[in-house]
Amino acid sequence: MTARLRVPAGLQAAFDAGGPARVAWLAALPDRVEQLAARWGLDLGEPFEPGGNGSWVAPATDPDGRDAVLKVAWQHTEALHEAEGLAALRGQGAVEVYRFEQIAPAPPGTGPGGQDGGTTAMLLERCRPGTELRGRPEAEQHVVVTDLLRSVRAVELPPDHPFRPLSVMAGGWVAQAEARLAADPGRLDAGLAREGLALFRELSRPGPADALLLTDLHAGNVLSGERRPWLLIDPKPYVGDPHYDVLQHLLNCDESLLADPIRLLSEVADLAGLDPGRVRQWLFARCVQESLGEAPWLPFDVVLRRLCGP
């Protein structure tokens, strides 16, 4: 298998541009996949194309004959506890994780190029037919996404769970935004930036209503399945304010967000059983942060003007 392992085009391109550590990780991937297949007794198919930008994913059959997916992922900070998050959900609105393993980076000098990245390997339930929710009408997306979020909010976490507070992620994003604003003060009105970034920090502080968050739930991360009509994949788990977890879906509803963000957030908040006023605060803060991102993908100034209106 080592010599014949195919790397999807998307993964190859992302890692070619990702620096020496990612190149080394990709060079070690064939051996990792071969070892995992042998250790878990898997019969593997060809990887899915075009592939993601951080993991090698292929259909698999385990020794019990289960239809599964092997995901071998580069470890990065946002998805640090993806496997543990799926395990905590226990299939409640999400794909089941049958088994997983964290593989530490190779010691410096032992891998190709002298360094190697850590790996998370997961054997997951396969979604069939596996159609992405984003192909469905937006109104249907709202219903499915908010139903999944209600399922996630019902999950009770043990006191010794590994998930980081949302404030950790928010603090890092705010620090990056402040640095970009300092380097280019004309990117955003200074008062608006201060208000939005301060609000981002404030809203992300731990509180009594905190719950498990997915932080990246949108229609592209929801697939049609057999056990349930729709199943979520690729969580990036944190613990924090449940109102945060509708944001990525809202940001992905591009046309509705630009046309009438208040109507959009009110509709989604109502379906999710959340306070629309707090969702509006979160959306304002996140749009300020995204405006100061490395490469904003939307005219967030338009959204901010409408969110700041009456």
- Structure-block tokens of residue 26: 């990709």
pLDDT at 89: 97
Asked if domains 9-125 and 133-307 share a fold, the reply is no
pLDDT at 1: 45
Give the homologous superfamily in CATH for domain 133-307: Aminoglycoside phosphotransferase (APH), C-terminal lobe (3.90.1200.10)
Block means of pLDDT (10 residues each) for the chain, length 310 residues?
Answer: 76 86 90 96 94 92 96 89 97 96 68 58 97 98 98 93 96 96 94 97 96 97 97 97 98 97 98 98 98 91 90
pLDDT at 109: 41
pLDDT at 18: 81
3-state secondary structure the chain: CCCCCCCCHHHHHHHHCCCHHHHHHHHHHHHHHHHHHHHHCCEECCCCCCCCCCEEEEEEECCCCCEEEEEEEECCCCCCCHHHHHHHHCCCCECCEEEEEEECCCCCCCCHHHCCCCEEEEEEECCCCCCEHHHCCHHHHHHHHHHHHHHHHCCCCCCCCCCCEHHHHHHHHHHHHHHHHHHCHHHCCHHHHHHHHHHHHHHCCCCCCCEEECCCCCHHHEEECCCCCEEECCCCCEEECHHHHHHHHHHHCHHHHHHCHHHHHHHHHHHHCCCHHHHHHHHHHHHHHHHCCCCCCCCHHHHHHHHCCC
pLDDT at 215: 97
Q: Give the pTM.
A: 0.92
Q: Where are the domains of the chain?
A: 9-125, 133-307
CATH classification code of 9-125: 3.30.200.20
